[in-house]
Amino acid sequence: MAPILDVRGLKTAFPSPSGPVNVLDGVDFEVQDGEILGIVGESGSGKTMTALSITGLLPRTATIRGGEILYRGSNLLALDNRAMNRVRGEQISMIFQSPRASLNPLYRVEATLEQVLRTHRGPRGASCGGTRTSCRAACVSA
């Protein structure tokens, strides 16, 4: 079966006085539908840069110098910002390490999840109906 996410030869670089330096130098992996993949590595080995490359959220100074990121068969690197905005959050999301920004304990989980649904589906799509079962259904279908 074709993988849902197929990362091939991904190279991401930052500028340096002596030219671009690859922080990712040919990353390859694939994820099948329903599969859970854990990427483990020491600090600075490129886990975050891999995720930011996939979600199109790299810092402005970074460049992707090679490779492909195929999501359901289409190359995310070929999408413009508008098309990528439709994928990001709706199809592929990143939960950042910063708990304050991502999972703020001052907000109910429902409110955090609703923000994503509201962005992609408008106010009606965001409504969970208030019960635990209906919220779970809305989130699972998202």
67 lies in the site for ligand ADP, by CB under 6 A: no
Residue choice 3, 8, 14, 48 for contact with Mg ion (CB under 5 A): 48
Residue choice 5, 7, 13, 49 for contact with ligand ADP (CB under 6 A): 49
Residues 6+ positions from 116 with CB-CB distance below 8 Å: 89, 90, 93, 142
> CA distances (Å), 83 to each of 56, 77, 102, 111, in order?
11, 11, 23, 25
Nearer to Mg ion, 48 or 85 (CB): 48
Contacted by 46, from Mg ion, ligand ADP, none: CB < 5 to 8 Å by type: ligand ADP
**Tokens 């990001």, residue located:** 88
Cα Rg of the chain, angstroms: 17
41 lies in the site for ligand ADP, by CB under 6 A: yes
56 lies in the site for ligand ADP, by CB under 6 A: no
Where does this chain touch ligand ADP (CB under 6 A) — which range of 39-47, 66-74, 80-88, 114-122? 39-47
Residue choice 59, 73, 105, 123 for contact with ligand ADP (CB under 6 A): 59
The amino acid occupying position 103 is L
DSSP assignments along 35-83, one per residue: --------TTSSHHHHHHHHHT---TT-EEEEEEEEETTEEGGG--HHH
Size of the site for ligand ADP (CB under 6 A): 11
> What are the residues binding ligand ADP (CB under 6 A)?
14, 23, 41, 43-49, 59
